[in-house]
Chain A
């Protein structure tokens, strides 16, 4: 066990060095585990779904997209207006996050994970909450009217499911990073999170603090102010999901903006994952070097019908990528 965790650390160091060479900056040194709870936490339920679940998720997504649309339509065109004001709401901006929010809430997030949802995706978020039995139909029908679903998710005015208010764009990534720091702080001081109200179950592992942001939010300087702090304080367990629809409020984004965004995050020691699949402008095909690296990092993969040699170095790389303590666990990928 000891040897395995040393191997993991070494692997992580190698990985960090690799990235620091590529970026020309120093990536923070790997942190010794401050969260004793992590080692003892039961394994997470697998998020990756089979064909059957994928089909269900697509149905849920389509329905949530409809409900979100309907909520805005109902508020603007069906509900009587008393003041002649446009009620508003953002159908397109909500729809852009339909898959991401469905994936997160249906499969990925656990109770201890906390989310700051992109303000304009409020209808989509509440539609999903409604489908999960955490929001009422009455509130959906009163979207943007007194006591109903708020224009932008609000901790104090919506149901208690909202973890962080949003509305002033760009604050989500910062407040979630600092919330992750807060939980690290609490755990390091022996103040682990209390059991969930009404249960005796306390979170077994630290929550992931997730911000879901529009790509245009990256123009807010405070995102990068907070990134710098996340690097200095080496904040763990923060996620930022960028809804890269390449449209700001007014127009299309500058070409390849993602390269700038990604670099900024990586400079601050974040790992960056681009989920482009295939068809999108600015998607680069993997270079030879990248393919080689990917092969090195990939789990057991057959090349020309035979297993690649599992050298100790390769095993370590794999462990570092997977972040597990035991090399044997990662064989399953």
Chain B
């Protein structure tokens, strides 16, 4: 009989409504006599209903009263199964708020301190005895049950138990083209940034017929527009679970860089600016292979809504530097999807760090693109300049981090990334993190696609621009956007200074950790005379590269960014943090 429908039910209901959670908990813990005591004590205040309430209490034994009062929907199979069955008749998302008792069925039920409490051994003995169990059969799954055998059959026949396994393991490998984007890089490459190169590679993939292209899904926390991602989005469309919609701007022939038309076969998922959602979406999509047997390549890209326009600083001999030219207000309110301006700046990897950690803990496979990064984001100021993300990338298991400096490296490392995302964990498979920049650099004239050894070195984490010989006295090792400064310093130092580029401090360090003298880092640095000095530099925390000195026992001077930044141009900021060419040259002094 339902409690509120029996005589005195209305009074019971009233009493319950006056009973706060803590009192309810305490009474649940103390049991039948406590319920009786409390209700009888309160009854006189119930006027006409007092007698009915008393009668209800007195009709029940202590045990019955306890059962009645703790008979909650979350412990009632009829109620739960009905609720689940009802919800199962549609595909609508549903929340169930199930009233339960913490510690249900145990002596510590209801006590508010029970979260960290354990049953005392004597209580366990009493419970064991109550269930008719002995030490001999206490672990048996169906012992001492009235209908043990039938219960076993019921569980064996449970719908979820129908298939041998629910894990798909490794999905079919998707072929990754050797050259993802023939138009990117090469002997005639124009100055560009790694962020722009990333967008161009994706655009080229989107336009290709490669099976890989159909498996890529991009997601972006509200920052797709005017970045390289637009190319991919325009070609492949925005995904919707609902009806396809044309972009009103396109229909109205108003110029806009991105086509926000949605369609059910779109390959871009546009998210709000909350970075946690980006990483959690990547976590879920990156499990597509084991959960659904279908490989996806989710790419979570954050990039800023700005146009990068180069302007020379005139100091670097082989590369020119440029601060991004702001045009940020240009494209606000492009569509209902982009109400706010914002981006997954590299520093906001930290904001989604727990979600990223979670995704990696589950060994989910995705490509996270943190861009733009570092103090090279100069005028944008200290709140948006990341400097400790290299250390995050190095320390996070199941995540391979790359920081390219040049466009052709971006496509080589993205290709390696796509392979890494689908490799078994035992073979080094993992998620991938690219740390990119909006700083426009002059590109090296080279045909990377014909140089297998160079590509292999890049993927392994480091390669020589100017290799060492027995006369070498100094090595400048740099990563990422500080390439022009490193090149200038090396040129000023002369031929006795070798120049090493690190494309992945993460890959380099983890291989050194596990393989020691057989590692790429060791192979690279054993060529350097023992009394030569290493000067490392990057637009990030110096600890990301300073360990290189320990590989073969070289002296080291590590340059980098170890304090918060501020608004300025690149020239001033690099000088302030001691990562400009001048600082590199002086660091080479004995």
A186 touches B272 (CB 8 A): no
Residue numbers in B under 8 Å from A275 (CB-CB): 73-74, 76, 79-80, 83, 96-99
Contacts A103-B77, A277-B76 given; indicate if A262 touches B97 (C-beta within 8 A): yes
Residue numbers in A under 8 Å from B98 (CB-CB): 100, 241-244, 274-275
Query: B131 — nearest CB in chain A belongs to which residue?
Result: A66
Residue of A45, A60, A110 near B154 (CB, 8 A) is: A60
Q: Which of A275-293 contact B (CB under 8 A)?
A: 275-285
A99 touches B75 (CB 8 A): yes
Residue numbers in A under 8 Å from B146 (CB-CB): 55, 59
| Least Cβ–Cβ distance between B163 and chain A, in angstroms | 4
- CB pairs A–B below 8 angstroms (17 shown): A56-B147, A60-B154, A69-B127, A70-B138, A91-B103, A96-B102, A97-B100, A100-B74, A156-B362, A174-B277, A196-B163, A237-B91, A244-B98, A275-B96, A275-B98, A282-B21, A324-B89
B241 touches A236 (CB 8 A): yes
| Least Cβ–Cβ distance between A146 and chain B, in angstroms | 18
A240 touches B79 (CB 8 A): no
B89 touches A281 (CB 8 A): no
B292 touches A186 (CB 8 A): yes
Contacts A109-B160, A175-B280, A255-B21 given; indicate if A65 touches B105 (C-beta within 8 A): yes
| Least Cβ–Cβ distance between A269 and chain B, in angstroms | 7
Contacts A96-B104, A156-B363 given; indicate if A91 touches B117 (C-beta within 8 A): yes
Contacts A63-B142, A278-B3 given; indicate if A182 touches B288 (C-beta within 8 A): yes
Query: A46 — nearest CB in chain B belongs to which residue?
Result: B85
Interface bits B142-161 vs A (CB < 8 Å: 1, else 0): 10011110111011101111
| Least Cβ–Cβ distance between A313 and chain B, in angstroms | 19
B74 touches A206 (CB 8 A): no
Q: In this assembly, does A142 line the interface, its C-beta being within 8 Å of a C-beta of chain B?
A: no
Q: A134 vs B167: C-alpha distance in the bound complex, in angstroms?
A: 13
A280 touches B16 (CB 8 A): yes
**Contact residues of B with A, CB < 8 Å?**
2-4, 12-13, 16-17, 19-22, 24-25, 68-106, 108-109, 111-112, 114-119, 121, 124, 127-128, 131, 133, 138-139, 141-142, 145-148, 150-152, 154-156, 158-169, 171, 214, 217, 239-243, 264-265, 267, 269, 271-272, 274, 276-277, 280-281, 283-285, 287-288, 290-294, 296, 354-355, 357-358, 361-363
Contacts A55-B147, A278-B2 given; indicate if A76 touches B73 (C-beta within 8 A): no
The 5 closest A-B CB pairs, nearest first, are A323-B90, A194-B293, A275-B73, A178-B284, A92-B103
| Least Cβ–Cβ distance between A199 and chain B, in angstroms | 6
Q: A171 vs B101: C-alpha distance in the bound complex, in angstroms?
A: 23
Q: How many residues on chain A are close to B (CB under 8 Å)? A: 158
Chain B CB within 10 A, most for which of A92, A107, A237: A92
Query: A55 — nearest CB in chain B belongs to which residue?
Result: B147
A132 touches B269 (CB 8 A): no
Q: A253 vs B20: C-alpha distance in the bound complex, in angstroms?
A: 10
B91 touches A35 (CB 8 A): yes
A189 touches B74 (CB 8 A): no
For the A-B complex with A322-B90, A323-B92 known, give 8 more contacts whose Cβ atoms are closer than 8 Å.
A70-B138, A92-B106, A100-B98, A156-B363, A225-B274, A240-B93, A253-B21, A254-B21
A279 touches B3 (CB 8 A): yes
Residue of B97, B108, B161, B358 near A242 (CB, 8 A) is: B97
B74 touches A244 (CB 8 A): yes
